[in-house]
Each structure stands twice: as C-alpha cells, then as structure tokens.
Chains A and B, each alone.
Chain A
C-alpha cells in the first residue's frame, strides 16, 4: 500500500494491562485448563448444533433456488461460511471442507454471475450425507474423492467465470 502523508504514530496508555495486571504475563495455564473442561462440557451439544447448522444451510439453499437475489445469495454464503468455521470444533472436519468449497465458490464468483444451482446442490447433498453417515475420518477414501471432485468443479466454474 502506498504510504500516506502525514503520518501520526502514537502509543496510547496500556489501560488493559493496568486493569488486569498479570505480572510478567504469558499464557494463564490454569485458566486454559478450566476452559478446556468447559469445552468438554459443551461437547454433548455439538451434535445438535451441527444438525441445526446443516438445516439452516438446506433452508438457505431452498430460499436461493426459489428467488436468486443478493439477499438469498448472501444468506447462503453466511451459512456455508459458518459451517466452514465451526464444523471442525463439532468434530466434522469433512463437512467443514465441503462447506469451505461452497463458500469459496459463492464468495469468489462475481455478484453478477449466477451461482450454478447444480453445484450448490452437490455440496449441500454431500454435507447431508457426511452428517447422516456421521463421517468424521478425514482419511476416508470415498470422502476424500468426493471433496477433491467438488474442489475441481469449483475451480472449473471460477476459471470459466474469470475468462468471461
């Protein structure tokens, strides 16, 4: 980025350090241990959470198919993006990968280019299958092939859009 003039550089007082103290600082291991335990306590809810995220994605897909516009497209992107970010925490890394592929396609295609519904469906269906079959092993050969195929199809769509 081109440097802009004039530049004013200053250091505000560190009010945060004054407030929380912490001596020499560093990671608070006791607090982290407590947080890991608290996360373990949430794990029994992760199944419901991923189910609700998948349901929200299916609804967003249906809304986009019914009326393709900026709002429904944005909602579909947000649902895919949420799942991409959260599914690994919920122990569904394969779902995260497929959702990431879908989010990449929606996010990188120009807003004026219509989204290919068939490829959206391929992603949504794959996520449903992985969820229903409780596939969590990232080394699963069939799942790997499926993810690679979806990635390749997205690459094609993006390349074709870039040419036009």
Chain B
C-alpha cells in the first residue's frame, strides 16, 4: 500500500477550458495536493512555471495561442527554464498514433486521454513518481527517452549467448 505525501507536491495545471481545470484540480485536491497553480494559456503557464518551479505539470494540448507542444519545447530547451526535467503529463483528446508520436517528440512524459478519470490521473502520477524515464539529448531532441520502457526494466533471465552475465555464469 502506498502512502504518498501528495501534500508536498507542487502541480501546475494548464488548460484554456475552465471546466477541465476545475475537474483536474478537484481530483488533485482530493489526492491531497495543496499547492496547485492554474494557467489558462501557455504564456501564463510559462510565467507561473518560472516563478513557482512546479514538480509536475498537467498540460492540455489544444489551446489558443501557445499550444501545449510549444510550451513543452520551451520547458525542455529554453535557457530560462527552471527545470528542463520536470515531468509533463499531457491531457489530450488526440489519441491517434500520429498525435502520440508528435507529443513524445516534443518531450511529453505521460498521456491522459480525455475523458479524464480519477484512475488515469492517479496512474500517470504514480508513473512519473515510480518510473521516471531516462533523458536523451541529441542534436534535434532533448527530453524523456521516447521508448516506452527502458531495457534496464527487463527483469528476466539473460538469454543471448554472448551476454556477459551468462558467460560469467558458464
């Protein structure tokens, strides 16, 4: 059984729709999160982000002006970002593989496909706490490793004959 101290978390919720913000904030408050910042636009979120340096960001994709993807790219690569590693959970009505790939390429850690539910919010929060992804820097990308699971998560036996572990055992 987990006993997370969600009351120690600072969460920024970014959505241009007030109802969706209210929904997500209600769920987070019930989880015990006390420090919740709300932003109705990417610009406002960037401002709050630099002032409050949240631990987790819950971000809508489709917004007027700066989109969720634009904001993530700023968070990951702008020299003025307070934390380029901050976990970003994207809330989106886009669920096609193409959209998921685009969001991953922008640096999203986890997704919540709308409609939002208590279970998915908890599961994605637990994912960023318990299973953080390694980060990757290439010429054209900086952000979480885009592979769903890292090879280091494999817990089974080594089966390749050239595996050093197996060779040592032999």
Contacts and interface: CB of A to CB of B under 8 A. Distances in A.
A138 to B, nearest CB: 14
A39 to B, nearest CB: 6
Contact of A89 (B5, B8, B29, B116): B116
A75 B119 CA distance: 30
Nearest to B140: A4
A49 B22 CA distance: 11
Contacts of B30: 31, 34-35, 37-38
Nearest to A8: B137
Contact of B3 (A22, A53, A82): A22
A12 B137 CA distance: 12
Contacts, number: 160
A114 B126 CA distance: 44
Interface in B18-48: 19-20, 22-23, 26-27, 29-32
A140 interface: no
B135 A9 contact: yes
A75 B17 CA distance: 12
Contacts of A19: 5, 8-9, 55
Query: Do most interface residues of chain A lie in helix, strand or loop, or is the interface mixed?
Result: helix
Interface string A48-69: 0100110000000000000000
Categorize the interface residue count of chain B: 35 or more
B93 A21 contact: no
Interface string A11-29: 1101111011111111111
Contacts of B22: 42
Nearest to A34: B30
Interface in B120-137: 121-123, 126, 128-130, 132, 134-137
12 contacts: A4-B141, A12-B132, A17-B130, A17-B132, A20-B4, A28-B126, A32-B31, A38-B26, A39-B26, A77-B62, A85-B20, A88-B115
